[in-house]
Amino acid sequence: MLSLAFKCLLIGLLCLSPKAEFRENSINLVPMDPLSPKKIQLSQGDDSPVNIDITVTNSKIHGLRNAVATKVNLIGDYVIKGKVLILPIQGEGKSNITFVDVTINVDFTGTPVEKDDGAYMKLENFHLHVEPKFIIYKFDNLFNGDKALGDNMNKFLNENWKEIHNELRDSVDVALGSVANDVIHRVFTKYPYAKYFSE
Ligand SMILES: *[C@@H]1O[C@H](CO)[C@@H](O)[C@H](O)[C@H]1NC(C)=O
């Protein structure tokens, strides 16, 4: 009976055992750096002091493959709308959200699924948690390109990154978690789990 409960770091997982001869493409592991998810969406309801929707498309995420990363960059084209700690915010353009000195934790349960060629591992209850020391926000072209307003808002966001992140953290974890989940899921659907975790 195979029953696995892992609590691990992302890179720990990916390095746990893939046998040395496995190349990244042979186990379906897409290059982790950068990741290019189609869309990242962060949103927070209106019961929060940070009531915003941020959508980032054409995005690239650098750094997520490290369990402890000096920087995780989320770069892309953003659309933002809402209110941040009483200030209205609105804009569309290029964005760069950088998580500095971040610890990444991944938590999931692996359930065995029997197939003809062996037991495959199915990921369940996948949670990713990022804990940054601080965050640098940079949104170009806020408020239809009004530079003074945009500069002030970026400054405000950076001065209040902590309060903002406290409100957005679940949404950030879910968004980045679903990206990581896809990557890992693809790995474990390729081969029976014994291929990865040999004695
Ligand atoms: C994003 O911002 C970080 C922190 O300011 C910076 O180090 C990095 O070079 C920026 N990346 C791009 C592509 O602008």
Q: Can you give the CATH number for the domain in which 59 is found?
A: 3.15.10.30
163 within domain boundaries: yes
- What is the C-alpha separation between 168 and 51, in angstroms, rounded? 9
What is the predicted pLDDT for the residue at 67? Answer: 66
Q: Best mutation site among 138, 139, 154, 155 for ligand 1, i.e. most ligand atoms within 8 A of its Cβ?
A: 138
Average pLDDT, the chain: 80
CA of 165 relative to ligand 1 center, distance in Å: 19
Percent of the chain with pLDDT over 70: 80
| Range(s) of the domain holding residue 94 | 4-190
Q: Is any atom of ligand 1 closer than 6 Å to the C-beta of 98?
A: yes
Q: Is any atom of ligand 1 closer than 6 Å to the C-beta of 95?
A: no
Burial class (CB in 10 A: 0-12, 13-18, 19+), 127: middle
Percent of the chain with pLDDT over 90: 37
Radius of gyration of the chain (CA): 19
The whole-number average pLDDT for the span 58-69 is 76
| Residues 74 and 61: beta-carbon distance below 8 Å | yes
Residue located nearest, by CA, to atom 12 of ligand 1? 96
In the predicted structure, residue 25 carries a pLDDT above the cut 60: no
The whole-number average pLDDT for the span 81-95 is 95
What is the predicted pLDDT for the residue at 28? Answer: 61
pTM of the model: 0.81
Atom of ligand 1 nearest to the CA of 73: 1
Q: Which conformational region is residue 101 in: left (phi greater than 0), alpha (psi within -120 to 50 degrees), or beta?
A: left
pLDDT tens digits, one per residue of 98-110? 999 988 877 777 7
CA of 98 relative to ligand 1 center, distance in Å: 7
186 within domain boundaries: yes
pLDDT tens digits, one per residue of 128-186? 888 999 999 999 999 999 999 999 999 999 999 999 999 999 999 999 888 888 878 88
Q: Encode 45-61: b = buried (16+ Cβ within 10 Å), e = exposed.
A: eeebebbbebbbeebeb
In the predicted structure, residue 19 carries a pLDDT above the cut 50: no
196 within domain boundaries: no
Q: Is any atom of ligand 1 closer than 6 Å to the C-beta of 96?
A: yes
| Residues 143 and 153: beta-carbon distance below 8 Å | yes
- What is the C-alpha separation between 128 and 108, in angstroms, rounded? 9
Backbone angles phi, psi at 45, to 5 degrees: -70, 175
| Residues 61 and 37: beta-carbon distance below 8 Å | yes
Residue located nearest, by CA, to atom 5 of ligand 1? 136
96 within domain boundaries: yes
Q: Is any atom of ligand 1 closer than 6 Å to the C-beta of 75?
A: yes
199 within domain boundaries: no
Helix (H) or strand (E) holding 172: helix 161-188
In the predicted structure, residue 197 carries a pLDDT above the cut 70: no
How many domains is the chain built from? 1
83 within domain boundaries: yes
Choose among 117, 12, 28, 18: nearest CA to 65: 12
132 within domain boundaries: yes
Q: Is any atom of ligand 1 closer than 6 Å to the C-beta of 154?
A: no
Task: Provide the β-strand partners of residue 112.
Answer: 121
Burial class (CB in 10 A: 0-12, 13-18, 19+), 185: middle
Backbone angles phi, psi at 65, to 5 degrees: -80, -10
- What is the C-alpha separation between 183 and 162, in angstroms, rounded? 29
Q: Best mutation site among 73, 78, 158 for ligand 1, i.e. most ligand atoms within 8 A of its Cβ?
A: 73
Residue located nearest, by CA, to atom 3 of ligand 1? 98
198 within domain boundaries: no
